[in-house]
A and B are shown apart, each in its own frame.
Chain A
């Protein structure tokens, strides 16, 4: 039984072996498919609405064998043929006030199709190539910086701002499009009712028609609902009901919404997301001014950084102190980006280490030949994802902090790390410094400005030093083909499409959407667990789908750490007629203070750890830095071992005694002796007997008690040997 289970509705696409590309399935559900195509393929309101229900009858899973072409046909298009059981196009076109024929012709050749763009030009049909639709439009944010923990905060805030701005612009343009005709709506509700059916062999058209007639489109204020019936054969699937609600506003998602089956707009737009780049799909009808967009992103990021107490502006004196420049430099002649008297480092980052580009319809296309020497056009996702690396190639300078190649209008020089920079071994004695790392350097704990002091803002700056937690979705997902289970052969699969297990799966743009959604839900679940009030509260970086905590929230970081065990759970995706084990991924940058409370923010902990991609899977692991001095591998076993020790410590309530117990264990004592030593002030064996022996071993015969004692002793020894610094994960009692 998987610990995480997701169900976004039945599958929407398969690949037929007759294509020469193998027999395979796609995991993305019908709502994800229809919404993705609607957002990326439509030129106007009518096309958008048509794409929302273009595959209306796919959940019937009515498959025929096309003997002439030796292939399977998925009969699903709503049409206007009076002889067809699926004669429903005119009815629903009239209801949704779109031109008849848009839906019916969506699979036809371009000249016969009444929709401007086709599906395969939008989500791509070149399975196994991991390409994205060549006619779709995208906005890409690229960071010209190597991933590093000390720039992770900055990059995450900028990425969140980018996704917020794009989502809001898309939502706004969508609202304008949808307002042109009724029914108007801000949400689309996809409903799937699973119903056991017994059909004739072969099924009669009247039977199929009777099932199709149970499909319905409906409109209530602000919502369009599309009801599907999924005929099934197995009684245990009977009565299942799945609802997926797509929110077309730019509202930031919450765990509560996820629990209600809501998919937010930002999720549908997010195609690819990692620490170097974000790729978002956008509709054809969205007007894009990249420069304006960039300004809006900067403005949003600046606001957020300010609220986090991160400085991005420095006086010219501070900039001069950041580096020892060789030779004479005319600072006044440099093209430095200013905000009043100060230098705007964020502006330098936006100009020198970041790029937002529009990938317009038809751009970045390659001619590719397949094994049969057929030529076709592709837009490879891997090329787009590699864009940040291409941008960095050939840059003349090299940052001593993050290892990034870069160029900047700051003078080339030797970075001076300053007298409060104690961990020189992590940055070396010489070398240049990139704009992103200048922001990191600027935010020393002693960096309060005269202006801040005048405003009454005092005390050490703790936003960019010390404890840190960032958990964001990552597109580096995987899935297990050997763990793909066919639930049943759908009763209307007359042709035998699902007669064989069909265990192979391929990935298209919409599977990237799907896995991003799963990662977001896992992270939001962790967020909601931290505090009861978080359930309907957006995440700290809601559009990025990320949790972000800094030193001031160290208690929350510790609480989050205690829940990271969730990353070692198994994840199951139900996509009728399949159930599959998947490994969505998250990016994690993590450092926490356990006992080093007072001075932790004065240390360069960010420089001692690296962000890591963690696949959500029982076999995953990651490295964690604790208290600036302990770096260790954390895996599922670690949490289980810690849980075991906590169980053993259950009856030792006092923190100080718990610490003595752990110290004794780590020095090789058995757990009973350790309990006795933890209560050494009582000079009695009573504590060891009552607080350990009787609670852990009672209810057994005397011989069994000893056997159980030995088992626990061996277990404790193994744990102590595996984690010699284990005590750092338990709170040190405060001085009374």
Chain B
């Protein structure tokens, strides 16, 4: 966690893409990786508010909203789906501008059989993929999210 803090958010995102690329994800390895990267692009584009209460409230809505818009998108390509979801999220969320992600996510926007399968997977198994990407994000990029989420849950008990 200490090391994470020293790195910029962009650096951590880059590291997360690399982590995904290095994962062994079973029989559907390629499309799962691509779907996870697509979701990470979506999640990475959202910046949480600064105040703790607002952050917690946002967190509570963010991941279900990603699921909702991913399922709702009628985009025919994976890249278009990512854009759809980001576009759908944009009225409500503050977007984090960061430098171009470059090579690690290039394959999301390229038309390929893997990208087609990744898009289909993302539409069919949205919930497990979003949960996994949330865990990746909270593990590698913003560990404090986990604590904030726990506090939010505790406040509802």
Contact = CB atoms under 8 A, between A and B. Distances in A.
Interface of A: 670, 672-673, 676, 683-686, 688-689, 693, 702-703, 705-707, 709-710, 713
B127 A673 contact: yes
A185 B97 CA distance: 97
A673 to B, nearest CB: 4
A449 B135 CA distance: 69
Contact of A706 (B60, B124, B132): B132
Contacts of B157: none
Given A684-B60, A703-B24, A707-B26, 15 more contacts: A670-B125, A672-B127, A673-B125, A673-B126, A676-B127, A683-B64, A685-B67, A686-B153, A688-B127, A706-B25, A706-B26, A706-B132, A707-B24, A707-B25, A713-B125
B139 interface: yes
Given A683-B64, A686-B153, A672 B23 contact: no
Given A684-B64, A685-B67, A702-B135, A670 B128 contact: yes
Contact of B23 (A684, A685, A703): A703
A702 B128 CA distance: 12
B130 interface: yes
Contact of B131 (A683, A689, A710): A689
B95 interface: no
Nearest to B126: A673
A693 B60 contact: no
B64 A685 contact: yes
29 contacts: A670-B127, A670-B128, A672-B127, A672-B131, A673-B125, A673-B126, A673-B127, A673-B128, A676-B67, A676-B127, A683-B64, A684-B60, A685-B63, A685-B67, A688-B131, A689-B131, A689-B134, A693-B128, A702-B23, A703-B23, A703-B25, A705-B135, A706-B128, A709-B128, A709-B132, A710-B26, A710-B28, A713-B125, A713-B128
A686 B155 CA distance: 14
Contacts of B32: 706
A517 to B, nearest CB: 51
B136 interface: yes
If over half of A's interface residues share one DSSP class (helix, strand or loop), that class is named, otherwise mixed; here it is helix
Interface in B10-53: 23-28, 32
Contacts of B60: 684
Contacts of B27: 710
A693 B128 CA distance: 8
Contacts of B64: 683-685
A661 to B, nearest CB: 13
A678 to B, nearest CB: 12
B68 to A, nearest CB: 9
10 tightest A-B CB contacts, nearest first: A703-B23, A672-B128, A673-B127, A707-B26, A676-B127, A672-B127, A685-B63, A710-B26, A689-B131, A693-B131
Contacts of B135: 702, 705
A689 B150 CA distance: 13
Nearest to A676: B127
Interface in B49-108: 60, 63-64, 67
Most buried by B among A676, A705, A713: A676
Contact of A685 (B127, B139, B153): B127
Interface in B113-136: 124-128, 130-132, 134-136
A702 B136 CA distance: 7
Nearest to B139: A702
Contacts of A685: 63-64, 67, 127, 130-131, 134
Contacts of B63: 685
A683 B65 CA distance: 10
Nearest to B62: A685
A670 B125 CA distance: 7
Contacts of A705: 132, 135
A710 B124 CA distance: 13
Nearest to A671: B128
Nearest to A689: B131
Contacts of A710: 26-28
A683 B60 CA distance: 10
A703 B24 CA distance: 6
A676 B60 CA distance: 15
A676 to B, nearest CB: 5
Contacts of A713: 125, 128
Nearest to B128: A672
A676 B131 CA distance: 11
A670 B126 CA distance: 10
B43 to A, nearest CB: 13
Nearest to A710: B26
B103 to A, nearest CB: 21
Contacts of B132: 702, 705-706, 709
A671 to B, nearest CB: 8
A684 B127 CA distance: 11
A724 to B, nearest CB: 20
Best-buried of A672, A702, A706 by chain B (most CB within 10 Å) = A706
A686 B27 CA distance: 27
A693 B127 CA distance: 10
A244 B26 CA distance: 57
A401 to B, nearest CB: 51
Nearest to A707: B26
Nearest to A674: B127
Contacts of B136: 702
Contacts of B131: 672, 685, 688-689, 693
A332 B126 CA distance: 78
A684 B28 CA distance: 27
A581 to B, nearest CB: 38
A688 B128 CA distance: 8
Contacts of A702: 23, 132, 135-136, 139
B28 to A, nearest CB: 7
B155 to A, nearest CB: 13
A677 to B, nearest CB: 9
B18 to A, nearest CB: 13
A670 B129 CA distance: 11
Contacts of B124: 670
A151 B41 CA distance: 69
A685 B32 CA distance: 20
A710 B60 CA distance: 26
A585 B63 CA distance: 56
A673 B132 CA distance: 13
Nearest to B63: A685
A688 B125 CA distance: 13
A275 B67 CA distance: 59
Contacts of A672: 125, 127-128, 131
B86 to A, nearest CB: 19
Contacts of A707: 24-26
Nearest to A711: B26
A519 to B, nearest CB: 46
Nearest to B156: A686
A685 B64 CA distance: 6
Contacts of A673: 125-128
Contacts of B126: 673
A668 to B, nearest CB: 9
Contacts of B134: 685, 689
A565 B23 CA distance: 40
A711 to B, nearest CB: 8
Contacts of A686: 153
A673 B126 CA distance: 8
Contacts of B153: 686
A706 B20 CA distance: 12
A690 to B, nearest CB: 8
